[in-house]
Structure formats: structure tokens, C-alpha cells
Structure 1
Amino acid sequence: MNAFAYRPLAGVVLLACSAPALACADIDCSPPLTLQLQAEQCGLTGLPFLSPDNDTRITLALLAGEQGLATLATVSDQAGKTTPLAVPFAVSDLAPPEPVVDSTDWLTQATALGVNPAVLQAAQQRAEGWLEGRCALNRPAAASAFLQALPQAGLSAEEARALAEARLVLLGQCQADGLPDYAALPASPAAAPYRDYLLAARAFYLGDFSEAQTRFAALSQQGNAWPQQTALYMLARVAINAAQANALDEYGFFDPGKVDALQASEAAQALDRYLAAYPQGQYAASARGLYRRVHWLAGDGEQLTADYQQALAAPQDMTLWNEIDLKLLSDGKGSGDPRLLLVQDLRRLRPHAEYETRWQPLTAEELATQQAALTPAAWFDYLQWAQRYYVARDYAAVAAIAPLSAGQSLDLLTFSRQMLRGMALMATQQWTPAEAHWQQLAAAKPDALQQQLIELAQALTLERAGKVAQLFAADSPVTRPALRDLLLRFSAPAPLLRQVAQNGQLPTELRNTALFTLLYKDLLHGQYRDFVTDRALLQPALGSTPFDLAPFSQGAHSEEGYACPALADSVATLARQPTAQARNCLGEFIYRQGWDLSPLGSKPEASLLGGAADPFAGAAQGRLALYRQVIADAKAPQEERSYALYRAVNCFATSGYNHCGSEEIPKEERKRWFLTLKKQYAQSPWAQQQKYYW
């Protein structure tokens, strides 16, 4: 087998949340654009300052980045391509990409050994399947080490081929799923160690740890280099898995009371023996990491904390942070280390559900008792300010934090403290001082992540202050497209949308969004006269990204037997003297475009960017409001009124909930619509088609 990195327990994936649930979260949605993240919005995501709302692993990542032990500015994919990290970011953005094993290596090795192509193809397919726990070790990297050793083993070509095929038949298989029985493996003196290795590995993956331990122990006494070293290492792996075998239930949940202490002790001794024999061996790094697993299984919190203190002094990534979150932070251990105490305290400053009794809010009095334990002293000072902001909500006191001094650098603690000050100014609606504060930070040479967060803070401040137009000026402090796009959709008044749509200095995508939003809201907010003039802004240069503007030029249309003139004609009629047909046809347009659910997306919550009150004139209304106006018009032509009744009834199909607007219509009224359609307009095609109401 190849050298194995330390892995989480079976049933625990890399981004699994530790208990309690609010310790972390990995929900598949975009992180919300706000300075205060909450788990119910999109899981706990990340901001580049010491925020209690950050996932605990992100706090560890920030501390590592401050020490130069981790890089957080970019996200890497499997191909090694990096892209800038966007703020806010998800925990998964910090996870290293799954290691990509160069398939040409093991495939080339197998081909050179004469492996049957059918065996090779089947192994490739299994290699791409889902495996976890000890089964996750049975990957191409492990097989490759075995294949690489065969040519140096003094085997005949036929023996090497047979052993290589036997290893590839095992690849990707685990437990009782089709494991080979290895009844006819080569048994010559040269082949025997590799045969014995395969039999031991089969027992290990099958879960027969007693047999695996016996076979690997015997193999570790032989003099053949690769099988002996691998067997000595695997004895530790076997003991670890045996120790935890009864402590994991079928869902992967761990019960420390069911750990086999003798096996845990044997695992520690096996690691000692391996490193004594091979201090620079093929598996030395993995073996040193496995001590953490052994100390965790043994319940030795003090030694485990020491292990992680040592690991945190070296370069690190999400694998380590996830371990710490699962093994120490989930049950409150690790507070003997100042850095981990800081992480735990920050977690306790965020809101927790009532049932999360172990995570009571950190009081100022309890924090005071930790002053000596929190070193450097600046950590204690920062936690005091954070406690005042997040728990005591003494915003006036936090707003009095001293502003940034001239020439002062934005290290993590300084930046975090200044973030609290700016947020406190916003919380007390001191918009002008807050604006000046963010401008000062922006001029203090922030790093890439800090710059993004400052832009978000500036966007939120100017939006709340009613100064959205400043964000689209030539000297705008905000240039991130994601922030401007959201403001156009939900916080821009009509005059600003017109200005942006016509501003050739702005990106085409922003101009496209502005014009689409303007025309869409003209229709939805009943600004029909504006729509007539705003249509003149349509031009091919605005393209179709991110929105298709072509529908606003729709010509005459007929569907399901109901004919409508061009959209522009219907809206012009609504602007002059509304008719039943014009109302129905606008409703038909909205229906055919699929705009019952807003193409702009859902308006953000009040605490998020884009969540301020929509300044667009007029109240927004869905197409049901148009139908109801026609239904209420007793003088409306038969064809128009029957069609409006038909569409209104179907606004509630099939759930009984309105999907054509926000109105809540009593079932009795919907029944009257249905009966009116069936009785007064029985000969209409709409009455004949309609069989139900909801």
C-alpha cells in the first residue's frame, strides 16, 4: 500500500458537522452577502475576520493564514487551477481538492506486467466508486505501490502478472462485496510475501481484523523490503480499526465508551515499532499523524491537545482543521491551548438554539476569568469587544473603538477589531461615519480577502443610507459584479436603472441587468407609461446575458385559442385606457414567460445586501391581480371575462396555493369563480375545459 494521509472515521466525511449542529454546516447554497452570517441562512460560512459567525474551521484557517501556515486567497481544483476566493466563502472552498492519482502510472504498471485488459477496465470502474473509512484506503494509490514493487521482487513474468491481477481484482472492493478468495495465488519463495500481503489485505478490507493482524504480524518478520515495511505499518492500521469497530454504529456515529482500549494501546505500540524501524519510511508521515487517532480513541485529551498544538505549528489545511473540529472542539476539549480556547470562545458568542445547552453565551464575567489563559493579551482584548457586540449588543461602546491609526497595518486582530467598529456604527445607523470608516480601511492596503469584505460593508452602508447611485458612479468604491448585480435587481430606483442601462462605461452584463429589471418592474409595478418609453432603450449591444431582453419585443401572440396583440400594444392600451383584453394579455405574457416566480430571484432578507425596501414606484402585483380586475368588471366582454375566470381558477392548481401572486384567496371565492365560469359562460371553451377548482 502507498503512504496514507490521516483520514476521518468511517461514516464521517471531510465536511461533516461536529456536534452540536451549529458547530459547522455545509449546506448547498450561496453564502449570503452580509456581515453577520447565521446558520439558518446558508449554514455557517466564512468572513475574513475573527467573527463568531464563522465556522470554527474557518477561524482555525484564518489563524493559520496569519502565521503563514495556510493560503486562503485562492481555491484550487483537481487540475491545480486556482481561482480567487470570494467573500463570503463556504467551508468547502477551503477543502483541498481530492487527490488525483495519475491513472497513467498504475495503468502503465499494470499493462507492463501483462494484466488482462478486462481486469484492468473493471478495476478502473471500481476505482471511481464511493468508499469510506478503511475502505477508502483501497484506491489506485495503494495498488500502485504494490504493482511498483513486483518488478524488483525476482518473480517470473507469469507470477508477476498473476499477483498484479489479484491486487487489481481487490481494488475498490471492501467488506463482503465480491472480495476474491485468492485460492490459487503463486506460492514460490519470491511470490509468497506478496501472496501473504494480499491475504492479509483481504482480511483487513473484509473486517476480519484478527486474521489480518495475524497475517501482517507474520509478514512483518520476513526480510522482503516492501511487504515487511507495509505489514509493519498496517499492523497499526489494523489495531486502530479493531479498536473502533464496536464504537461505530451503522450510521457512523461514535461512542467512546465502546472503544477497545487494548487495541488502542496495541496501535500506539505498532506505530512506535514502525517509526523505530523506518523513521524516514514510506509511511512515516502517515504514521506520525495516526498518533492523533490513537490518542483520541484512548480518550487522552491532554495528549491529543498536545498533538494538535504540534500540528498547528506546521503548514496545514482543512484535513487538520476538520480533525480538530471533530476530535476536540465538538465536546469542548482543547481549551488548554490558547488558540483553541479563542476558537471555542468565539463560537460561544454566536446565537445558539435553546436546546444547545452546552453552548451557553459567553458572559463578560466568565471571559474575565480566562484573561491569563488567553495569550497573547490582544486575543483577550478582542474577545471583550466581540462579547460586547455579539452578546451584550452594546453597539455604542463598540463604536467607540479607536479608529485605525495612520500607517497601521491590517493584521488579523486589527482588521477584526475595525470590522466590529464599523458594524457597530451601522447598527446605530451612523451611516456617514460608517461610510468614512470603510473608506479609511479601504485606503489602508487591505489584502485581497479584506478588500472584498470592505466592499461588501461599503455596499451595505450605502444601500441602507439610500445612496445606491454612488455604487455605480465612475469613482464607486464597489466594483464587484456580484454586489452591484444584486443591488440593481432589488435596491435600485427606476432613474438609476435607466442611468446604468445607458452608461456605456459600465460592463454590458450590468447594463443588461439594469434594463431587464427596469422593464420587468415597469410591468409588475403597473408603470405602463414608463414601460412604453423605456422600451426605447432596448438595443442589440446589451446582449442576452444574464437576461434575455427579446421577450419585451414580443409580437402578436395566440395560444390555446386566446389571441393577443404585440406586448407593446397591450401595454400602451393599459397606459391610456385599460381594457380587459390588455389586462389578460399582460397576464398571458407573464404566464408564458414563466415569471410567476420572479426571474430576478428571491429578494434577500432585510439583514442582507439587497434587503432594503424596494424604492421602485408602485406596488408589485402578480398576474392574478390582473385577472381579478377583469373578473370584477361586469361589462367586460364574455371572451375576456371567461378567460380571466379560467386563468384565475388555475392559479391555485393543483395545491390550492396561489402561484400567480401573493394574494390569499378564500376557497369560497375560488368556488364562486368556478361556478360563474361554468354557469354564465358555459359555452366558452374555457368553461368546457375547466373541470375542477382548488
Structure 2
Amino acid sequence: MRGWQRGAARTWVGAAALVGASGLAATVAWACADSSCSPVWRLDAPDYACEGRAMLSPGNDTRINLLLLMRSLAPVSDAGASYAKPDWDDGQLGHVFFSWKGLRETLWPQAPEPETAASEPASECAAPKAAQDAFAAALLADKAVAESDRTLLMTLRTKAGCADADMAIKTTSAAGRGYLDYLLGADAFYKGEYPTALVGFASASRSASPWLQETGNYMVIRVALRQAVAKAIDQYGDFAGLDKIDKTAAQAAGEAIDRYLKAYPQGRYAASAQGLKRRVLWLTGQDAALAQSYEAMLRATPGNSAAAADLAEEIDNALLQRADGVQAVVGGDKTPLLMAVADLKAMRLLDPAKPMPLDAQTLAAQAPAFAGHDDLYGLLDATRAYYAGEAPRSILTRLPDAARSASYTPLAFSRQVLRGMALAKAHDANEAGFWQELMGGAKGLWQGPLAQLGLALRWQRDGRIDQALASASPIKDTTLRQLMLQTMAAPATLRANAADATRPDEERNVARFTLLYKGLTRGAYADFTRDLALVPADPKADLTAWYGAGLATPPAQRFTRGQWSDVLPCPPLEQTAATLARDPANQTARLCLGEFYRLNGFDGFALYTPFEKVEQLGRGKDQFRGPMLSRDAIYAAIIADKSAAADLRAYALYRAVMCYAPSGANGCAGPTPDYAAYQAQQVPKAQRKAWYDELKARYPTSRWAKSLRYYW
């Protein structure tokens, strides 16, 4: 989320999104119109979701499912690992969900790359530095190269591939000529002159230098692959499709790979060549062979290595994003691991009104392929049944209770979470106990918070939010607690959490802010004045803006130190609230309350609000009474009172018109759940003109009449 929501979005798209979407900055969810990912706080994911779960699921990014499966084949431990610091996009996911990027950065954090020294600028056209270094090392080690040639060739290496490279040079030694042939090949390679590149590298491979012999043979592979895809890259650099591939060149690349690996089975480029064999299979449409190659790699690649993540990305890009690739996976019987991931993707309910895309008969026909993978097939069978809407008790029979295990692989954890989801559908009395038992062994990253979400959802259905938010509650995840604090917590619960020194400061601040915000906007003015005592002084609280990275929560100090007076001479907010507690209809105090909203960015602001019509955390009953009071309602009430003091009524007319400046949309109303509610907030232009005309006619000498020039 990009900062706290203010009243800046005045189009329908922005206004509707204020409540329809949820965002999260640091560890707190707030309504936000510009979130790149708005997670739905529930366990099930019937369609693709931007929030990944620590369980094999139809809604997961396919790469996530692939990696979870690899980490299940040979169990790995997350001991000692810590969650990566979330970036702009992932901050809203907390520790309950994750993105593919967040998963990679958590499991395999990367040190920042050192900056290139200013005295050594990197050339944009030349070969990568690693390639230049390898060439330089080989050249320096080759004593047969004349010193004059060495100096010339070292200089030329940094320019090969650049438009201004002068390759028309001569060497004085035969050994030097071999390196020049290599550079001529490299120059042509980077310029896309592939026939010339082949001549250069082939010539280099016949030199006396072992490095040139091997590297020249390897580069023949690279040239052939470049030739194969040359016509498949469009003017924007995007891949235009496999039908554009030069199959002859691709086959030549495969033959060159075989020659290289036969000559150099343990060569310096052997691993790369093996990887390029998969590329040739992809380019030549040999999907069945490619799938079998990937299946073997899934079994052999340790799930705790970064290579596993690289493999997941490659499989997704090369195979599982294509219909032909998926068909090769599910059409055979030799790739059960890939088949499982393809099946999960096939279970996505793109249209909830239609039957499950993967029917029971199709899955049952695959069962022989899963011999030896009973738990995996059992999960697939139960998952299909769950999302197809079958009886939850039948799902429970497929997934035996193992909630008391000491730890879980991702596959084992997936089976238990799905069992818990079935218990929830069955309204089983033992569901809450199941989640609490599961937490004991849910030690992997993201496992514990996901199990806590299951318990939170159950207690939400039971109306036990006070128990969920108690100090001794097993629901410890800060994100989950903050969602409940913003949506369903009673005033007494918020006060207790605000005063609980055992909870993180950000969570306590959410309790304070929610208590004060709801109390003030719902008219609980006496409670509000008393609750202000819960706000710490904290002179460092940032009150300059609601937007911007770095603010973990909206500062509760805004109610004690925010701006309350501008063009109207208003007292501090505490005094305004005290006046309204005695006299809720006091028009001066109501206008001053509106000034506080206006000056502190509360127009359009909303606490976290769940998506409509989706069962998820936060969709319980709000325990604060009364409707929210917005600025436009304050002005409308004073305008309707013809006996109101002239200066107050003139200001209300002025502000009512200004609510529509400059977009013509109401900027003083609260956030809305849908388009109909948004439309209901608007008044027609004729009404704004009537306000404008009345201000000009009835209060012509007021500063408000003199300053107002339009009615939008």
C-alpha cells in the first residue's frame, strides 16, 4: 500500500476501491485504492490469487506449488531463516501470505550488488564482465601469445560487439590469431551476424589453446540457438511464439551440444550445455521429452537450494504456461510431480457458476501414474472434491487427522490445512481444537500464521473475537490481530489491547487509532475524550502525511496533535468532542469536527474493509453503534436549518459546494462498498448551483460568498 488513504480518489474507480479493496503497509491492512495486490484473508483460493499460501493450492502461483513440492520430496528445515523485509508490493501480505518474489528473497536473500567504480564504466554493448574476465585469464596464461598481441587483444575484448569496434587488426603470432578469431566471432555474435560468428568460433576451436578449443565449441551452440530464435523476437524484444522458430538452427544447436558434451563431459560449460539441451527440446516442440527431463530434475534438485527456485521458474515458463506443454504432462504417465502441479492449475474455478474444470473421472484415470505418491494423489483428490463442492465429510475421510505431528513438510501441511477447511465446511465442533493442535507442529515459514488464520476464521464465525484478541490467545500473528481490531473488536477489547504492553507497539497503535477513529466518527464523543488518555505523547510521530513508505500504522497522535483550526477559529479537538458530548447538535462544534476531518486527511479514509460477498477474516459484526458521520452530512444538516447562525450557514453552503471541487465528484463523503452507494453520495449539479446561488444571494457580504467562483 502506498500510504494511508486520503480523499484524493474522486472518480468512481478510486472511490469504490476505497472499501472494495484492502491494502497493507508494513503489517497493517487499510483500505487503499492503489494496491498492486489486495489479499483475501481466507484459506481457500478457488482461482489464481496474488497472495500465495504455504500449502499446495489451485490459487497459488504455479512456481510456488512447484517449489513447495520440491521441498516436500526431501524434507528441509526453515530453522534459522527469517522473513525478508517486505517491499512496496509485499508489505500488505504480512507473514500469512507471500508472493513468489517474497518467497525467493526469504529463502535465498541476495546481497546487494556492488556499484561499478566511476573510473570503470561498464560498456552496454560489450560482453558481460565475467566473459571478459575469462578471456583475459586465458590470454594471460597463454605464453605462446606475443606480448604486443596480448595488449592489443585485451583492449579489443572490451569493444567487441560495439558499433565503433575496429576489428580490422592483425596479430604477429599464430597463437594470437586464435584469440582474434574468437573476438571476431564474439563481435559478430553480439551484432546478430550469426554466419560470421560461426566462422570465427569454429576457427578459434581449431587453435592450440585448450580454452579456445572448448569455448569455441561451446559458443557454436550459443550461435545456433540465437539463429533459431532470431525471427521469433518481435520489434519490442518480446517472444513471438514457437511457430516462428528456425527449427533447422535449433536442431543444429542440439547436435552441437551433443558434440560438446561428448568431448567435454566434465567441461567448464557442461552444466550450461545440459540446460541448453532443455532449450532445444522446447524450441523443437519435444514436450514429452522436456517434461520427463523436468520430472527428473524435480526429484534431484534439493528444495533448499536456489537452483530449485530457478527450476520452478524455468518449468513454468517453458512448459506449464502452454497448452501443448500441459498436455504433454497430463497425457503421459511418467511425470506425476508435474502432473500434480498441472492438475492444481486445472482446478481453478474461472467461473464459479460452472462445474469444476478437472472432473473426478479425469483425475481418477491419472491414479496409476501416482503410484508411490499416495499422499500427493490423496491431496489432489481431496482438493478437487473440496472446490467442486462435495460433502465435507467425504473429504475428511480422504485426509486422516495428523494435527499432532511435530513438524510438517509442505505436502503434509497442505493435507492438514485442507482437512481443517473441510471441518469448517462441516461446522465441526472440533475445528477450533484442530487448528490449535496444528499450530504446535506448524514450524515452517508461513505455516504457523496460516493455521492461526484458520482458528481466527472459526472464532469469527462463533462470535468469539474477544477470545481471539485476548492477551493469552494462540493467535499471535500481528497482521491477523490488526485485521480483527479494525473490523470487529468491541470498544472494551480495543482499550484492553491498547493498554497491553505485551503486544507490539504497532498493534497497540492500531487499537488506539481504531478506537478513537470509530468513536469520533460514530458520535461516541464522551468515550472519545476519555480514550484520548491512551495516546502516548511520542513527539516523533510523523503527522506530516498519510502517504509514504515507513509509516507502519496511522499515528494515533493525529487525534491529539493534528491540525484542528484553519479558516474557522476552532479549539483543540478534545474540546470540540467534549462540547459535542454535551450537545451533539452544536453547529459550531460540528463544523469544527468537519474541519478536523478536512485538515487531517480523513475524507475518504477507511479502516480495513473486507471484500463484499466473500467469507474472509474481518467480515463479522462491527460492535460500534451508529452510522459514520461524514463532512457532507454535517454541512447538509446545517444548510437544512434555516435558523442557523448566518456565518455558520454561509460556511456550510461554501463547504458543501467545495466538496465537489474540482472534479465534480463528492470529496467529503465516506468510502463506499459499491457503485450504487457511491452514486447515492452525489448530489446533482442543479443542487450545487442552488447552494451557490443561495450563498451569493442570502450572504453576499460573507467572505465565503466573495471567494466562491464556481459550483462544479
Instruction: Indicate the TM-score class for this superposition, using the shorter chain for normalisation.
Output: 0.7 to 0.9
Please list the CA deviations of residues 63-119 of structure 1 after superposition, one character each: whole Å capped at 9, or x if unmatched: 1001238777857989xxxx9993311011234679779769x98xxxxxxxxx85x
What is residue 4 of structure 1 aligned with on the other side? none
Q: Taking structure 1 as reference, are residues 469 and 403 closer, same or farther at Cα in structure 2, changes over 3 Å only?
A: farther
- Structure 1 alignment gaps of length 5 or more: 1-26, 108-116, 127-134
Structure 2 counterpart of 1:284, one-letter code: A
1:294 and 2:284 correspond: no
Q: Helix, strand or coil for the counterpart of 1:476?
A: coil
Instruction: Note the C-alpha offset of 1:539.
Output: 2.9
Q: Helix, strand or coil for the counterpart of 2:300?
A: coil
Q: Helix, strand or coil for the counterpart of 1:191?
A: helix
Q: Taking structure 1 as reference, are residues 514 and 314 closer, same or farther at Cα in structure 2, changes over 3 Å only?
A: same
Residues 580 and 641 in structure 1, CA contact (< 8 A), matched pair in contact too: no
2-structure distance, mates of 1:638, 1:140: 76
Q: Helix, strand or coil for the counterpart of 1:371?
A: helix
What is residue 150 of structure 1 aligned with on the other side? 139
2:244 to 250, 253, 258: 258
Instruction: Note the C-alpha offset of 1:354.
Output: 9.6
Residues 564 and 595 in structure 2, CA contact (< 8 A), matched pair in contact too: no
Residues 536 and 557 in structure 2, CA contact (< 8 A), matched pair in contact too: no
Q: Taking structure 1 as reference, are residues 187 and 100 closer, same or farther at Cα in structure 2, changes over 3 Å only?
A: farther
Structure with larger RCO (C-alpha < 8 A, sep 6+): 2
Q: Helix, strand or coil for the counterpart of 1:635?
A: coil
Structure 1 counterpart of 2:67, one-letter code: A
Instruction: Note the C-alpha offset of 1:158.
Output: 5.6
Pairwise mapping of residues 511-660 of structure 1 onto structure 2 (< 5 A)? 511-540=508-537, 544=541, 546-554=553-561, 557-559=564-566, 561-577=567-583, 578-598=585-605, 600=607, 603=610, 606-660=614-668
Please list the CA deviations of residues 432-482 of structure 1 after superposition, one character each: whole Å capped at 9, or x if unmatched: 432122112123464343222111212222233222222332321111112
Structure 1 counterpart of 2:578, one-letter code: A
1:308 and 2:288 correspond: no
Instruction: Note the C-alpha offset of 1:294.
Output: 0.4
1:46 to 41, 52, 59: 52
What is residue 100 of structure 2 aligned with on the other side? 91
**Taking every aligned residue pair, what percent have the same amino acid on both sides?**
37
What is residue 246 of structure 1 aligned with on the other side? 231
Please list the CA deviations of residues 273-317 of structure 1 after superposition, one character each: whole Å capped at 9, or x if unmatched: 212222222111111111000011111112111211221122242
Residues 500 and 514 in structure 1, CA contact (< 8 A), matched pair in contact too: yes
State which drifts further: 504-513 or 488-497.
504-513
1:196 and 2:181 correspond: yes
Residues 244 and 260 in structure 1, CA contact (< 8 A), matched pair in contact too: yes
2:707 to 671, 678, 689: 689
What is residue 484 of structure 2 aligned with on the other side? 487
Pairwise mapping of residues 196-235 of structure 1 onto structure 2 (< 5 A)? 196-235=181-220
Structure 1-normalised TM-score? 0.83
Residues 95 and 317 in structure 1, CA contact (< 8 A), matched pair in contact too: no
Q: Taking structure 1 as reference, are residues 36 and 621 closer, same or farther at Cα in structure 2, changes over 3 Å only?
A: farther
Structure 2 counterpart of 1:86, one-letter code: H
What is residue 329 of structure 2 aligned with on the other side? 334
Q: Helix, strand or coil for the counterpart of 2:569?
A: strand
Q: Taking structure 1 as reference, are residues 435 and 406 closer, same or farther at Cα in structure 2, changes over 3 Å only?
A: closer
What is residue 395 of structure 1 aligned with on the other side? 392
What is residue 158 of structure 2 aligned with on the other side? 168
What is residue 365 of structure 1 aligned with on the other side? 361
What is residue 111 of structure 1 aligned with on the other side? none
Residues 511 and 542 in structure 1, CA contact (< 8 A), matched pair in contact too: no
- Structure 2 alignment gaps of length 5 or more: 1-34, 86-90, 302-306, 542-551, 671-680
Pairwise mapping of residues 448-463 of structure 1 onto structure 2 (< 5 A)? 448-463=445-460
Q: Helix, strand or coil for the counterpart of 1:639?
A: helix
Structure 2 counterpart of 1:59, one-letter code: N
Please list the CA deviations of residues 298-343 of structure 1 after superposition, one character each: whole Å capped at 9, or x if unmatched: 1111211121122112224222112211222122232231111111
Q: Helix, strand or coil for the counterpart of 1:141?
A: helix
Q: Taking structure 1 as reference, are residues 685 and 461 closer, same or farther at Cα in structure 2, changes over 3 Å only?
A: same
What is residue 23 of structure 1 aligned with on the other side? none
Q: Taking structure 1 as reference, are residues 59 and 167 closer, same or farther at Cα in structure 2, changes over 3 Å only?
A: same
Structure 2 counterpart of 1:67, one-letter code: L
Q: Taking structure 1 as reference, are residues 261 and 221 closer, same or farther at Cα in structure 2, changes over 3 Å only?
A: same
Q: Taking structure 1 as reference, are residues 194 and 615 closer, same or farther at Cα in structure 2, changes over 3 Å only?
A: farther
What is residue 473 of structure 2 aligned with on the other side? 476
Residues 638 and 681 in structure 1, CA contact (< 8 A), matched pair in contact too: yes
Instruction: Note the C-alpha offset of 1:625.
Output: 1.6
Instruction: Note the C-alpha offset of 1:156.
Output: 5.8
Structure 2-normalised TM-score? 0.81
Structure 2 counterpart of 1:684, one-letter code: S
Residues 31 and 90 in structure 1, CA contact (< 8 A), matched pair in contact too: no
How large is the Cα RMSD of the aligned pairs? 3.3
Residues 508 and 542 in structure 1, CA contact (< 8 A), matched pair in contact too: no
Structure 2 counterpart of 1:425, one-letter code: L
Instruction: Note the C-alpha offset of 1:184.
Output: 4.4
2-structure distance, mates of 1:546, 1:196: 63
1-structure distance, mates of 2:110, 2:197: 27
Please list the CA deviations of residues 558-598 of structure 1 after superposition, one character each: whole Å capped at 9, or x if unmatched: 42x32211111111121211222211111111111111132
Instruction: Note the C-alpha offset of 1:408.
Output: 4.7
Please list the CA deviations of residues 405-436 of structure 1 after superposition, one character each: whole Å capped at 9, or x if unmatched: 58556444443232222212333555x43212
Q: Helix, strand or coil for the counterpart of 2:388?
A: helix
Instruction: Note the C-alpha offset of 1:269.
Output: 1.2
Q: Taking structure 1 as reference, are residues 417 and 254 closer, same or farther at Cα in structure 2, changes over 3 Å only?
A: same
Residues 233 and 240 in structure 2, CA contact (< 8 A), matched pair in contact too: yes
What is residue 695 of structure 2 aligned with on the other side? 677
Please list the CA deviations of residues 224-275 of structure 1 after superposition, one character each: whole Å capped at 9, or x if unmatched: 1222221111111111111122233335234222222211111011111212
Residues 33 and 88 in structure 1, CA contact (< 8 A), matched pair in contact too: no
2-structure distance, mates of 1:546, 1:464: 27
Structure 2 counterpart of 1:643, one-letter code: Y
2-structure distance, mates of 1:179, 1:461: 69
Q: Taking structure 1 as reference, are residues 213 and 103 closer, same or farther at Cα in structure 2, changes over 3 Å only?
A: farther
Q: Taking structure 1 as reference, are residues 70 and 418 closer, same or farther at Cα in structure 2, changes over 3 Å only?
A: closer
* Number of aligned residues: 631
Q: Taking structure 1 as reference, are residues 631 and 94 closer, same or farther at Cα in structure 2, changes over 3 Å only?
A: same
State which drifts further: 226-235 or 659-668.
659-668
Q: Taking structure 1 as reference, are residues 70 and 183 closer, same or farther at Cα in structure 2, changes over 3 Å only?
A: farther
